[in-house]
């Protein structure tokens, strides 16, 4: 098997991103053992950068390290999922309130453009998922709290271990889109409490669909 050519940045970071995407694409399934020797041979690297990459993914919650057994793709339990959604609801509903209270017209235009993309992606689950994440991260960036942004980014990586399944539920994409419309209405009205409530409702319904 020929080695994969890696970009000229820190090798372990490139390996971490490659494995991260394999996990998100389900090429590495939840609960699967990660064969370090085979991967190192496939990538044409030593096991040292691979192990550093696995440490990064373990810190993000995507990989679980087991003593004397190696690394496994994390399996998300129902409690894990509830806990992640609860924290995301708290953090992102607060961010929505902040943005509603202080957003400039240009900020709202940015979010509206992403929302319009979301409307156009309703028939394409993968595209809808990608645009949805861009919308949420853009809102968080506008809320301008780098610590919240960092925590949410990590939590969303864990959520991705299950998120695609929630969007497969009958009618969930349409429901999610309706929730986004309500959020945009609250943001345009510059109503912090309505924006907070709309985002909280969005995550409540998302958890129900993911369960």
Residues 20 and 98 in one domain: no
Contact call for residues 110 and 67 (beta carbons, < 8 A): no
Q: Within a domain: residue 55? A: yes
Q: Name the domain count of the chain.
A: 2
Q: Is the residue at 6 inside a domain? A: no
Measured distance CA(55)–CA(72) in Å, rounded: 12
Task: List the chain pLDDT tens, one digit each, 211 residues.
Answer: 556 655 446 899 999 999 999 998 889 999 999 999 999 999 999 999 999 999 999 998 899 999 889 999 999 888 988 999 999 999 999 999 999 999 999 999 999 999 999 999 999 988 998 999 999 999 999 999 999 999 999 999 888 887 555 555 778 889 999 999 999 999 999 999 999 999 999 999 988 877 5
CATH number of the domain where residue 34 is located: 1.10.10.10
Per the CB < 8 A criterion, the answer to whether 4 and 11 are in contact is no
Q: Which domain holds residue 36?
A: 11-73
End-to-end CA distance of the chain: 40
C-alpha count within 13 angstroms, C-beta hemisphere, residue 141: 10
Here the CATH number for the domain that contains residue 176 is 1.20.120.530
Q: Are residues 63 and 96 in the same domain?
A: no
Is the same domain home to 137 and 204?
Answer: yes
As to burial, measured by CB atoms within 10 angstroms (0-12 exposed, 13-18 middle, 19+ buried), residue 181 is middle
Residues 38, 22: one domain? yes
Where a domain ends, among 29, 52, 73? 73
User: The whole model's pTM is what?
Assistant: 0.80
Picking from 13, 211, 190, the residue whose alpha carbon sits closest to that of residue 102 is 190
């Amino acid at each position: 098997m020929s080695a994969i050519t890696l970009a000229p940045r820190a090798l372990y970071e490139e390996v971490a991103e490659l494995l991260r995407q394999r996990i998100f694409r389900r090429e590495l399934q939840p609960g699967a053992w990660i064969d370090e020797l085979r991967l190192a041979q496939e990538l044409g690297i030593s096991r040292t950068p691979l192990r550093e990459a696995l440490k990064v993914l373990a810190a993000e919650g995507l990989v679980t390290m087991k003593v004397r057994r190696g690394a496994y793709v994390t399996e998300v339990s129902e409690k894990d999922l509830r806990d992640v959604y609860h924290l995301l609801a708290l953090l992102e509903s607060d961010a929505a309130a902040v943005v509603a209270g202080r957003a400039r017209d240009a900020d709202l235009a940015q979010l509206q453009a992403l929302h319009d993309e979301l409307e156009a992606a309703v028939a394409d689950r993968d595209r809808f998922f990608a645009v949805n994440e861009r919308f949420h991260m853009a809102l968080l960036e506008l809320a301008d709290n780098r610590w919240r942004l960092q925590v949410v980014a990590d939590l969303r990586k864990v959520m991705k271990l299950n998120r695609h399944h929630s969007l497969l539920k009958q009618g969930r994409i349409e429901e999610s889109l309706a929730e986004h419309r309500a959020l945009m209405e609250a943001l345009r009205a510059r109503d912090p409490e309505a924006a907070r409530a709309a985002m909280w409702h969005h995550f409540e319904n998302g958890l129900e669909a993911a369960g």
